[in-house]
């Protein structure tokens, strides 16, 4: 029935997870469009042991009978902080900064081995162009996945287009043979409930429709913001700029110290528990 | 037999139980809304010891009447774990769905001649086990999120209740607005409002006030408490409980004092060791006795 060791081990594990999260944040302190995350904890199972159910032995006791030891801590949530990162000016016309914390670019990753295409969302606007087979230039993310327009098609521009510009509402304008031409409009999607987004790595997020269950579609949770005439308040695209990582180094370092100390305390508790076991072993001297 | 043998062993067992509680506190040093458990020791009931066949210290002349020597206890046990409901500090998370309860200024109540500090709690609903009716639990941890169905929920998925014991539908409150601290505002009295969503009805967070939490609130899993007092806990009344305020974007830190806990652990180990030494001393005595008997 001694669970002191289990308690301390769960404490070490929980704190280790926070240290891991902080390390990931620090590693991405200069990643375009990166959102920092944090780990929060909850107390674990508490058991109700019925000790001494005889009222005559519980003289003067006022709390409800029984004894309720807890079994350590667990991680409760991995929360992503979607706060807007600072704007960083660049010279590349395909660098797009997305304004509004709830706004995302839609990205399509081609399914491999016959699987359907996957829809992801990202805030990293460090795009580039790549010539395609049909003489066009495709707008791709840094990972090489297609950026989608408002109608759900991959964004492409003619390869001989010049003066590539993107307006605030995502409308692409370029000059083709000396004539100003309107191209596709880059899709901006807003997600009302950022809590349901799942970080999918590489600065991508996805809506876990299979976890939500039912006939959930990602379109139930992400809405096209620039399909109509007006954009929602505070949402828009700024060309030739990027969103810096929103990791706050001072906050992360403070949290790291705190998490490390908590980890040390729990590790020390393990060593204390070991000492107690040693004392128990020394009862019998042979 | 040697009476102290059991007493020393019971001392070791009680100290082990205290160590269990201390390590649990330490593991939860970063758990929002966690309340420190204090172990309370109690000695076993006292027993009367008597000397039978008392000779009164004189010569062995027949058998005297039995004589009371006094009272003795046979050891100690860990009677109860009492949560300490002192307020933890609030820390900022900037999450629109994080709430901290501040009620340290509530007037103390006198119950059974003792002055106790009332505390307020949030109401959450856990689904019933094996298809039973859902049960209401109470928590100090306002670490919530909006689930896929749009309801306010704890990290474990339990729904947070409003003042009428109904789940809180954040999506209905927000309309088409995205969730942020601008679109969802909480008044210090716990009223959720959506200032940018015209026509939405404010929702009052379900809060209760418990006058004597240490004696009526029992710890359950996931940083929640079960109410074991008579009837239902009193609903929070903004007119009467003006000292209570709810802060959005903050969480209540665990009230575990790590330094104090480490010190208590050292105490426990030394006390455990002392009991072990007593036990060993008895062992030596018994060994000597065995040696004498061998002759």
Give the contacts of A60 (CB within 8 A, at least 6 positions apart): none
Residues of A in contact with B272 (CB under 8 A): 276, 279
pLDDT value at residue B261: 94
CA dihedral A283, B1, B7, B13 (to 10 degrees): 50
Pairwise pLDDT comparison (B27 vs A64), residue with the higher score:
B27
Taking only the tens place, the pLDDT of each residue in B146-157 is 998 899 999 988
**Rounded to an integer, what distance in angstroms lies between the CA atom of residue B224 and that of residue A41?**
13
Identify the pLDDT of residue B58: 60
Helices (H), chain A: 4-27, 209-212, 249-281
Is a pLDDT exceeding 90 seen at residue A48? Answer: no
**Start-to-end CA span in chain A (Å):** 26
> Which chain A residues have a beta carbon less than 8 Å from that of B176?
192, 223
Q: Phi then psi for B67, rounded to 5 degrees?
A: -125, 135
* Pair A95, A240: CB distance under 8 Å: yes
**Global pTM value:** 0.87
Residue A257 is predicted with a pLDDT of 95
Would you say residue B1 has pLDDT above 60?
Answer: no
Residue A1 has pLDDT above 70, yes or no: no
Per the CB < 8 A criterion, the answer to whether B18 and B78 are in contact is yes
User: How many CB atoms within 10 Å of residue B24?
Assistant: 31
pLDDT for the residue numbered B39? 87
Q: What is the pLDDT of residues A203-224, one digit of tens each?
A: 999 998 888 878 888 888 888 9
pLDDT of residue A245: 95
What's the pLDDT score for residue B278? 92
Q: Give the model's pLDDT for residue B208.
A: 94
Distance CA B225, CA B121 (A): 9
Quick check: B119 and B100 in contact, CB under 8 A? no
When pLDDT is averaged across residues A152-179 and rounded to a whole number, the result is: 91
Candidates B23, B95, B113, B272: best to mutate against A (most CBs of A within 10 A) is: B23
Residue B60 has pLDDT above 60, yes or no: no
The per-residue pLDDT for range B227-274, each reduced to its tens digit, is: 998 888 999 988 888 889 999 999 999 999 999 999 999 999 999 999
Query: Is the pLDDT at A50 greater than 80, yes or no?
Result: no
> Residue A240, CB half-sphere, CA atoms under 13 Å: how many?
7
Tokens (6 digits) for A257 = 């110290």
pLDDT class of A51 with cuts at 50, 70, 90 = low
Residues of A in contact with B219 (CB under 8 A): 43, 46, 68, 70
Write down the pLDDT at residue B229.
Answer: 87
For residue A165, name the pLDDT band (cuts at 50, 70, 90). Answer: very high
Would you say residue B61 has pLDDT above 70? no
Q: What is the reported pLDDT for B265? A: 95
- Of the candidates B28, B215, B261, which has its C-beta nearest A43's C-beta? B28
Percent of chain B residues topping a pLDDT of 90? 53
pLDDT value at position B52?
74
Q: Which of A4, A83, A279 sits opposite B20 (nearest CB)?
A: A4
Q: Is the ipTM of this complex over 0.90?
A: no
B26 vs A contacts (CB less than 8 Å)? 7-8, 11, 265-266, 269
* Residue of A2, A48, A192, A255 to mutate, interface with B, max B Cβ within 10 Å: A192
Reduced DSSP (H G I as helix, E B as strand, rest coil) percent helix, strand, coil of chain A, to 5: 25, 35, 40
How crowded is the C-beta side of A45, counted as CA atoms within 13 Å? 8
Q: Give residue A230's pLDDT.
A: 81
> pLDDT of B18-48, one tens digit each?
999 999 999 999 999 999 999 888 888 777 8
User: In this predicted model, what pLDDT tens digit does every residue of B83-111 receive, in sequence order?
Assistant: 999 999 999 988 999 999 999 888 888 88
Say if residue A39's pLDDT is above 70. Answer: yes
Residue-level pLDDT at B59? 57
pLDDT, residue A140, reads: 94
Q: Is the pLDDT of residue B209 over 80?
A: yes
Residue B205 has pLDDT above 70, yes or no: yes
pLDDT computed for residue B120 by the predictor: 95
Write down the pLDDT at residue B293: 77
Nearest CA in chain B to A84: B180
pLDDT at B253: 93
Average pLDDT over residues A227-254: 90
Please give the residue that has the higher pLDDT: either B80 or A87: A87
* Res A269 pLDDT > 90: yes
pLDDT, tens digit, 9 for 90 and up, residues A82-140: 999 999 999 999 999 999 999 999 999 988 888 888 999 999 999 999 998 888 999 99
């Amino acid at each position: 029935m001694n669970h002191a060791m289990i308690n301390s081990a769960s404490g070490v594990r929980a704190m280790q997870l926070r240290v891991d999260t902080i390390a990931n944040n620090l590693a991405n302190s200069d990643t375009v469009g990166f959102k920092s995350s944090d780990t929060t904890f909850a107390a674990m199972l508490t058991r109700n042991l019925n000790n001494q159910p005889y009222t005559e032995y519980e003289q003067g006791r006022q709390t409800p009978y029984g004894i309720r030891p807890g079994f350590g801590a667990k991680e409760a949530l991995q929360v992503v902080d979607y706060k807007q990162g600072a704007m960083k000016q660049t010279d590349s016309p395909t660098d797009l900064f997305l304004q509004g914390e709830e706004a995302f670019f839609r990205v399509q990753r081609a399914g491999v081995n016959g699987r359907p295409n996957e829809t992801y969302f990202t805030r990293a606007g460090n795009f580039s162009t790549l010539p395609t087979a049909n003489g066009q230039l495709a707008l791709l993310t840094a990972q090489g996945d297609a950026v989608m327009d408002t109608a759900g098609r991959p964004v492409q521009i003619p390869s001989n287009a010049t003066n590539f510009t993107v307006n605030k509402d995502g409308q692409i304008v370029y000059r083709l043979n000396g004539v100003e031409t309107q191209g596709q409009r880059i899709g901006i999607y807003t997600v009302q409930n950022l809590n349901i987004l799942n970080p999918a790595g590489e600065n991508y997020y996805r809506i876990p429709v299979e976890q939500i269950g039912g006939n959930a579609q990602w379109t139930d949770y992400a809405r096209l913001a620039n399909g109509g005439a007006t954009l929602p308040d505070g949402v828009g695209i700024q060309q030739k700029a990027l969103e810096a990582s929103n990791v706050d180094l001072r906050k992360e370092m403070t949290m790291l110290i705190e998490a490390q100390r908590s980890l040390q305390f729990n590790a020390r508790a393990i060593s204390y528990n070991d000492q107690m076991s040693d004392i128990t072993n020394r009862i019998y001297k042979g | 037999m040697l009476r102290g043998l059991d007493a020393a062993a019971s001392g070791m067992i009680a100290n082990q139980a205290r160590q269990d509680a201390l390590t649990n506190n330490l593991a939860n040093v970063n758990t929002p809304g966690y309340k420190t458990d204090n172990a309370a020791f109690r000695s076993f009931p006292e027993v009367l010891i008597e000397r039978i066949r008392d000779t009164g210290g004189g010569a062995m002349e027949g058998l005297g009447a039995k004589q009371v020597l006094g009272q003795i206890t046979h050891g100690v046990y860990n009677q109860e774990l009492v949560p300490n409901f002192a307020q933890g500090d609030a820390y900022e998370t900037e999450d629109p769905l994080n709430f901290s309860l501040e009620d340290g200024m509530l007037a103390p109540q006198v119950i059974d001649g003792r002055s106790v500090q009332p505390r307020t709690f949030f109401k959450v609903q856990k689904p019933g086990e094996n298809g039973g009716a859902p049960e209401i639990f109470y928590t100090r941890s306002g670490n919530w999120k909006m689930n896929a169905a749009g309801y306010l929920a704890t990290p474990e998925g339990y729904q947070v209740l409003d003042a009428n014991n109904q789940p809180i539908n954040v999506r209905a409150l927000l309309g088409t607005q995205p969730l942020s601290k601008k679109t969802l505002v909480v008044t210090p009295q716990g009223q959720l409002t959506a200032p940018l969503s015209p026509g939405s009805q404010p929702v009052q967070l379900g809060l209760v006030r418990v006058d004597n939490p240490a004696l009526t609130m029992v710890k359950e899993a996931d940083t929640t408490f079960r109410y074991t007092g008579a009837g239902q806990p009193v609903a929070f009344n903004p007119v009467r409980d003006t000292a209570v305020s709810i802060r959005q974007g903050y969480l209540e830190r665990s009230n575990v004092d790590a330094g104090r806990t480490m010190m208590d652990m050292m105490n426990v180990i030394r006390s455990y060791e002392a009991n072990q030494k007593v036990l060993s001393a008895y062992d030596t005595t018994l060994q000597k006795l065995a040696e004498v008997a061998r002759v």
